């Protein structure tokens, strides 16, 4: 008598049962991992806590009652002289300080000075492209000329 079909049916039944058990254990484990991951929160960086204290940010991430934005409005007039490789211009900047703090500095960034002779990166700039850099002929704040 050949009991091959019975053995095969038994093997399939065992395999099906084992698969069901592993699937159930896997699903239960994944469910627990999710709960485990949510049980712990990340530490809040000191900068964020400081923003909460100063009320510039709320815990939801929205701006707080102490939040402000300064504003800059620019009017720029410029003239290009391709033959002499010169740019001449005038600029009016209206800066509105909405901060509760008084500003004691004015910072002007002269990014175009990368072409100035002697600039630390001028070795990569062709000699003919080097200039005297940005030259400010007049600087005034509220109509008062600065030297």
Q: Return the domain boundaries, the chain.
A: 4-53, 71-146
Q: How would residue 36 be classed by pLDDT, with cut points 50, 70 and 90? A: low
| DSSP class of 42 | P
Q: How would residue 78 be classed by pLDDT, with cut points 50, 70 and 90? A: very high
CA angle, corner 45, sides to 44 and 51, nearest 5?
95
What is the pLDDT at residue 39? Answer: 66
- Pairing label, strands 139-141, 86-96: unpaired
| pTM for the structure as a whole | 0.51
pLDDT at 86 > cutoff 60: yes
């Amino acid at each position: 008598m050949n009991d091959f079909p019975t053995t095969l049916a038994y093997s399939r039944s065992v395999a099906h049962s084992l698969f069901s058990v592993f699937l159930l254990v896997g699903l239960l484990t994944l469910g627990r991992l999710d709960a485990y991951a949510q049980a712990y929160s990340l530490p809040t960086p000191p900068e964020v806590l400081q923003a909460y204290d100063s009320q510039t940010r709320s815990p939801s991430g929205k701006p707080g009652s102490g939040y402000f934005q300064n504003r800059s409005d620019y009017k720029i007039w410029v003239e290009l002289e391709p033959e002499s490789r010169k740019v001449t211009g005038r600029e009016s900047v209206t800066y509105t300080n909405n901060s509760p703090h008084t500003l004691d500095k004015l910072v002007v960034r002269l990014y175009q000075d990368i072409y100035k002779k002697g600039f630390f990166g001028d070795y990569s700039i062709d000699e003919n492209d080097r200039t005297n850099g940005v030259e400010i002929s007049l600087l005034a704040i509220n109509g008062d000329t600065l030297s």
